Structure 1
Amino acid sequence: MEIDWKKVDGLVPAVVQDATTKNVLMLGYMNEEALATTKEKGKVTFFSRTKERLWTKGEESGNFLELVNIKLDCDNDTLLIQANPVGPTCHKGDDTCWAEDNNPNFGFLNTLESVIKDRYDNQEQKSYTSSLFKKGINKVAQKVGEEAVEVVIEAKDDNEELFLNESADLLYHYLILLRAKGYELNDVVKVLEERHK
């Protein structure tokens, strides 16, 4: 790692990212000694500009950042630290220094889950999803089965557009089923993560 220490007066910004969720947890600064200490101890250590000394995140609270990986940006003057947080990262007790929850983010699927939750919570709305919830769990489960069969049928053909459309229908109805059962996609991901260990 060829960091341009002179370019940044001996301190480089270190963006800390949760190695699993990929959420940004905090920003700190490192000098050469802090970087060496981080690599040696496996716990993220910064140079505190206010204390003017090395500071290992969690040295007082026990909420350490366990090092997973370090990457250097294209300009050789910023670090991306991937770590596993032990407890909240922010000194105020929040998961991140931006007061955000450190939950897994599935991009648009999270947005879709929010829409489905709204339809579940407000079943009087006039929408396909609300009407499906009103018909009960048996109908919701049946729709997942129907969509799964359609995916299998389209998988055997060469029409990519139909296959992807049926796959989208299956995923959508599966998210509806999860909500009807009181679960979210993250609950399934946790099971997969546990199996992976």
Structure 2
Amino acid sequence: MSLHDLAATILSRRGADPDTSWTAKLLAKGPEKCAEKFGEEAVEAIIEAVKGDREKLTSEAADALYHLLVMCAARDVSLDDIETELARREGRSGIAEKAARPE
């Protein structure tokens, strides 16, 4: 499954029954709960990265990506929006790009 497929699935579950869809349940709880869940999954990925277990890191990274997209969907930020921002940054040094950000 591509990230675009995943993003489309998340959007399609927006109006689904929260009793039958984890995505619908998260979205129904609001952006704050979606952000909390993303944070939990990101921390779990960090732990596995530190431990060095490739298989567990792969699984936790997949969970983190899913929850990142759910969190963004809860605030109407699409994968296309994220890709547009990445394209805007393309070809720039990360150091230069960060220095150009407003404080």
Alpha-carbon distance between aligned partners in 1 of 2:2 and 2:89, rounded to the nearest angstrom: 25
Is 2:9 the counterpart of 1:115?
Answer: yes
Greater share of residues in helix: 2
Greater share of residues in strand: 1
Counterpart code for 1:136: G
Alpha-carbon distance between aligned partners in 2 of 1:127 and 1:159, rounded to the nearest angstrom: 30
Name the counterpart of 1:124.
Answer: 17
Stretches of structure 1 that go unaligned for 5 or more consecutive residues are 1-106
Task: Give how far 1:158 is off.
Answer: 2.4
* Identity level (%): 38
Larger radius of gyration: 1
Counterpart code for 1:124: D
Stretches of structure 2 that go unaligned for 5 or more consecutive residues are 92-103
TM-score normalised per structure 2: 0.80
Q: Does 1 or 2 have the higher relative contact order (CA < 8 Å, sep 6+)? A: 2
Name the counterpart of 2:75.
Answer: 181
Q: Is the 8 A contact 1:123 1:133 kept in 2?
A: no
- The C-alpha deviation readout for 1:56-114, integer Å capped at 9, x for no partner, is xxxxxxxxxxxxxxxxxxxxxxxxxxxxxxxxxxxxxxxxxxxxxxxxxxx62211111
What is the number of equivalent residue pairs in this alignment? 90
Task: Give how far 1:161 is off.
Answer: 1.0
Task: Give how far 1:131 is off.
Answer: 0.6
RMSD of the TM alignment (CA)? 1.4
Alpha-carbon distance between aligned partners in 2 of 1:195 and 1:130, rounded to the nearest angstrom: 32
Q: In structure 1, the residue corresponding to 2:13 is in which secondary structure?
A: helix
Task: Give how far 1:178 is off.
Answer: 1.4
Counterpart code for 1:132: L
Alpha-carbon distance between aligned partners in 2 of 1:134 and 1:189, rounded to the nearest angstrom: 26
Spell out structure 1 runs of 4+ moving beyond 4 A.
none
Task: Compare 183-192 and 146-155 and name the one that shifted more.
Answer: 183-192
Name the counterpart of 2:98.
Answer: none
1:34-53 to structure 2, matched below 5 A, reads: none
Alpha-carbon distance between aligned partners in 1 of 2:87 and 2:4, rounded to the nearest angstrom: 18
Alpha-carbon distance between aligned partners in 1 of 2:51 and 2:10, rounded to the nearest angstrom: 31
Name the counterpart of 2:60.
Answer: 166
